[in-house]
Structure 1
Amino acid sequence: MAKGPTVEVENVVTPGSRRRVDAGKYNAMKAAMLAVLPNDAPGMTVASIRPAVLPRLPQDLFPGGDKAGWWIKCVQLDLEAKGVLKRVEKPVRLYRA
């Protein structure tokens, strides 16, 4: 369970599903992802997002990139549900809407 300020996230795969997560980590990952993702398709593969965002993440929240993969997926699903990101399939690629 998150300690301190939280933010509610959605899941595009499970409509109506909402969960509260750590606001600091969520906002840091969201900013990093939006900074590296292109505006147009075909976008970036999920695997290529991690090395691109790691240098942009605060070390106090993500020491050595710890848990970055989970947070990428969390932010991805939330921003897709909110219409901020879009995906292209096979392989999955993400870009800003």
Structure 2
Amino acid sequence: MPPRTILVENAVSGGKPTAVNADKYEAMRDAYLKAVPSGDPGATPAEILTAVKPALPDDLFPGGATAGWWAKCVQLDLEAKGVIVRGPKSPVRLRKT
């Protein structure tokens, strides 16, 4: 049986949604939303990745494998959906809306 998929958007390139593995996306999204602060100044993508790795299930991300790609996928999808936003200046800092 093929893995369950979910459609994700991309805040940077827009356009057509892409199908990705739903189990990995949902696990990363749940960990990501716990790691992203609600207030300013927010957190950098690197800080968020460091925070999410220990929360990821080892059966989906053995030893943190591919966590960086999935974190970026979730970040861009959540930005496109307006769940998180970037701060106004460099470096990129993210926070919940």
TM-score interval for Structure 1 and Structure 2 normalised by the shorter chain:
over 0.9
Structure 2 counterparts to residues 35-74 of structure 1, below 5 A? 35-74=34-73
TM-score after normalising by structure 1: 0.93
Aligned partner of residue 95 in structure 1, secondary structure: strand
Name the CA distance, whole Å, in 2 between partners of 1:92 and 1:41. Answer: 12
- CA distance in structure 1 between the aligned counterparts of 2:61 and 2:96, rounded to whole angstroms: 24
CA distance in 2, matches of 1:83, 1:17: 17
Using the alignment, how far apart are the partners of 2:45 and 2:95 within structure 1? 10
Please state which structure has a larger fraction of its residues in strand: 1
Deviation at 1:71?
A: 0.3
Partner of 1:24: 23
Amino acid at match of 1:94: L
SS in structure 1 at match of 2:86: strand
Unpaired runs of 5+ in structure 2?
A: none
Unaligned runs of 5+ in 1: none
For 2:94, the equivalent position in structure 1 comes to 94
2:13 is paired with a residue of what secondary structure?
A: coil
How many residues are aligned here?
95
Measured on the aligned residues, the alpha-carbon RMSD in Å equals: 0.9
* Deviation of 1:17 (Å): 2.7
Q: Percent identity?
A: 55
**Structure 1 SS opposite 2:82:** coil
